[in-house]
Amino acid sequence: MKDSLRTILFLVLGGLAVWMFLGRGRTHAPPGGHTPIPAPPETGRPPEQTFHVRSPLNRAQAGFDAAITTRSGGLRELRLVGPQFVMRTAPVDPRTGRPSADHRMNLASTWNESVLSLRSDLTVMRGDTTVVPMYQDFTGRQISDNEVELAWSGDGVELTRTYRSTRPYTLDVETRVVNRGAPLSVEARVPVYQWVLREDENGKMMQRPWQVAEGICRHGGELFREPRDKLLERRRTDDLSGAASFAAIGNTYFAMAIVPRGNDEARCRLYAEDRIAAAGEEPIGSVFGASIGWPRTTIATGETQRFEATVFLGPKEPEALAAVTDDHRLTDTVNLGFFSFIARQLLRFLRFLFSIVHNWGAAIMLLTLCIRVALLPLLARSMKSMAMMAKLKPELDDINKRLAENQEAKTLATMELYRKHGVNPISGCLPQLAQLPIWWALYTTLQTSVELFHAPFMLWWHDLSAPDPFYVLPLVLGAMMFLQQKLMPPQGMDPVQAKMMTYFFPIFLTGISLFLPAGLALYMLVNSCLGMLQQWYTKRQLDQLKSGGGPGTGGGQAIQVKALSGG
């Protein structure tokens, strides 16, 4: 029974691994009634200028360098600073399609003015007349390395936008509207956008790429998380109900999140739009949009209205996300799966181990070892149950032989044998099941940890978030699994099951791990080696228990059960 359960568990875990890295089936959902945004004017505008806001650096000397353009006050570039974010291959400049001279990662992936992150998104009306154009040309002033101010005025309206960074990866955005004329009605939004190519979403073979994006919003006390296909069905103008705590676009490792300040009535919007190269062709990619908006307000003559938000732009590092707000709400942007409560503690411990060894690969190996040691009490219970079952095997074989034709009598005799010796056959499986949440949480932790992004280990493993370039880890893992099955073949299985466990599963696991991040493959290899050592020790202990006499060694007396009437 336990071997059959183990087979099922292996298949379930394998199926889950395929699901996680292939992703759910994607369909080309029709756009949700999107109307094209008018294109910005190309002539008669002053030259574009850019000003830079640099965030303070954290302990790892990382932060960002944001380039703010005078065209609608949007985010032209967002270069991540720090050795972890220097790309070996130069990022492609989206405007020219050519490699950029700057090798720092750029999170600002949209270049059209209508979808620039943090652009001035205002609807300002005086009666039925729009008094602020959709696209504004600001004048700029560099106040300091950490602060920029943009200004625009016209038709009795003065706009001032201030960008200030006081913490790593964080930008405070304030929009001030001053009315010098008749009363105004104003709606304001702070948007972020992300452009994702289909080829980046699809990845390679069974590799689930980290670029796959999703929209995230906490509103009305509920966390809302949707992938592209669901967002394509949403309209750009639809607000989600309930007060918004934040709105974000995120992928596995990075997030662009907006937190409203000073207004409990803010609402969030999430949507996506496909882009095609030519009519009738498949989309080449999608633009993801997330924004925080405030309800329409009236500004009397001579009054000023402020709209304030804090924007996080960077990697999903737990400390950086938690520092944005007092209630740590942005930590919800990290998707740690069903066992997130366990995964968070594992990630915290992994970071602690890294602070000691200063190598993420070594930290993964130590974490796997520590978890194995912590689970030894469960192993002891399982081993004791296995020993008792081994001792009772001759009696069980005798019952199966004598009562082969009477299933009911055989069941009763078996249960009586278990009762007499105080054995619960399921107790050997329960410790194995109890370990699954821990191992699955660890698996999820390693899959989503931005700490592994471009993190070196040793030799040619320069990036633990990328597959092993020479496939050494997957091949060694497959060999170890095969050796483990050969040295200690599964007992009690029919030949088909045994052959599947011996040959199919190692091949299947090797095929999966060929495209896994090296950090995950390293964890699986270390776990397999420790499991093999544990299995050898368990077998040795069982052999010693068997040689000690008692039930199953000829010292016990088989239980006699009479066949039921009519049997």
User: Does the pLDDT value for residue 288 go beyond 60?
Assistant: yes
Query: Is residue 372 included in any domain, yes or no?
Result: yes
C-alpha span between 99 and 345 (Å, rounded): 40
Query: Is residue 180 included in any domain, yes or no?
Result: yes
* Residue 354 and residue 325 share a domain: no
Give residue 541's pLDDT: 66
Residue 71 sits at φ, ψ, to 5 deg, of: -75, 100
Query: Is residue 556 included in any domain, yes or no?
Result: no
Cβ pair 251, 317 in contact under 8 A: no
- Written as one string, the DSSP assignment of 33-101 is S--PPPPPP-SS-PPP-EEEEEPPP-TTS-EEEEEEESBTT-EEEEEEESGGGB-SSPPBPTTTSSB-S
Q: How many domains in the chain?
A: 2
* Residue 420 and residue 298 share a domain: no
* Residue 374 and residue 247 share a domain: no
Give mean pLDDT, residues 354-378.
85
Give the pLDDT band (50/70/90) at residue 249: very high
* Residue 350 and residue 324 share a domain: no
**172: containing domain:** 47-332
- Which sign does the torsion angle of CA 251, 253, 256, 260 carry? positive
Least confident stretch, 182-196, 422-436, 501-515: 422-436
Give residue 154's pLDDT: 92
Give mean pLDDT, residues 449-463.
81
* Residue 233 and residue 109 share a domain: yes
Give mean pLDDT, residues 74-100.
82
Give the pLDDT band (50/70/90) at residue 517: confident
pTM confidence score: 0.78
User: Does the pLDDT value for residue 134 go beyond 70?
Assistant: yes
Give mean pLDDT, residues 273-294.
89
Give residue 170's pLDDT: 95
C-alpha span between 202 and 208 (Å, rounded): 7
* Residue 394 and residue 252 share a domain: no
User: Does the pLDDT value for residue 293 go beyond 50?
Assistant: yes
Query: Is residue 460 included in any domain, yes or no?
Result: yes
Give mean pLDDT, residues 146-165.
96
Please give the mean pLDDT across all residues of the chain: 80
Distance of CA 158 to the CA centre of its chain: 42
Query: Is residue 20 included in any domain, yes or no?
Result: no
User: Does the pLDDT value for residue 427 go beyond 70?
Assistant: no
* Residue 318 and residue 393 share a domain: no
